[in-house]
């Protein structure tokens, strides 16, 4: 049963990822990306990381996709057809990507992974305690650094998106 679900999810992820990078309509391409992200959260549900699946759904499917749709609406006409690369360039890059994929797959399949059979369920409590622990192996410092990074990027995004127009107008009145 889980096997069948995994194959369906893998099929959805790969087909919609390819549709997302090759579609000529901008908004459709964003929606295909949404399907890819939901399929990835399905994989997290399958391996029992419920917290990570919830993060994937809220941050990516809820936040990043809405931001992308907003920016597409702001800068494009909705039915605008994208300009594609030249067909020779696309074929060349496709062949280069396939060669890279072949290198990856031969490396992966020639390596012996020592798989530990388990069915441990990770609770949110374990993740929270690990993030906040300050003993060896704890992650309190990166956790705090990430919060500062989020604050700085939020302030930076507001300042950059506001542009120079508002600032110069304020200087003129002074």
Partner 1 sequence: MIAGISIYEILTVTSILFFIGVYGFITRKNLISILMSVELILNASVINFVIINKYLYPDVLQGVFFSIFIIAVAAAETALAISIIINLYRQISSVEVKDTEIMKY
Q: Coil, strand, or helix at residue 25?
A: strand
Q: Coil, strand, or helix at residue 49?
A: coil
Residue closer to partner 1, measured from CB, 120 or 174: 120
- Rounded CA Rg of the chain: 22
**Residues from 114 through 173 that contact partner 1 (CB under 8 A):** 114-120, 122, 126-127, 130-131, 137, 139, 142, 146, 149-150, 153-154, 156-158, 160-161, 163, 165
For residue 166, give every residue at least 6 positions away whose Cβ sits within 8 Å of its Cβ, in sequence order, or none. Answer: none
Residue closer to partner 1, measured from CB, 110 or 173: 110
* CA atoms of 43 and 28, how far apart (whole Å): 23
**Residues from 59 through 118 that contact partner 1 (CB under 8 A):** 59-60, 63-64, 67-68, 70-72, 74-76, 82-85, 89-90, 93-94, 97-98, 100-101, 104-105, 108-109, 113-118
């Amino acid at each position: 049963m889980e096997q069948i679900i995994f194959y369906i999810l893998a099929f959805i992820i790969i087909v919609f990822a390819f549709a997302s990078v090759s579609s000529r309509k901008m908004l459709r391409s964003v929606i295909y990306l949404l399907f890819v992200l939901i399929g990835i959260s399905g994989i997290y549900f399958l391996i029992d990381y419920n917290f990570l699946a919830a993060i994937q759904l809220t941050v990516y499917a809820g936040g990043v996709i809405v931001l992308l749709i907003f920016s597409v609406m702001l800068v494009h006409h909705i039915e605008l057809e994208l300009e594609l690369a030249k067909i020779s360039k696309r074929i060349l890059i496709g062949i280069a990507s396939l060669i890279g994929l072949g290198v990856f797959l031969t490396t992966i399949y020639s390596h012996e992974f020592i798989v530990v059979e388990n069915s441990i369920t990770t609770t949110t409590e374990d993740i929270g305690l690990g993030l906040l622990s300050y003993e060896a192996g704890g992650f309190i410092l990166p956790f705090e650094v990430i919060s500062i990074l989020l604050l700085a990027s939020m302030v930076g995004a507001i300042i950059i998106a506001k542009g120079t127009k508002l600032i110069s107008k304020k200087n003129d009145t002074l």
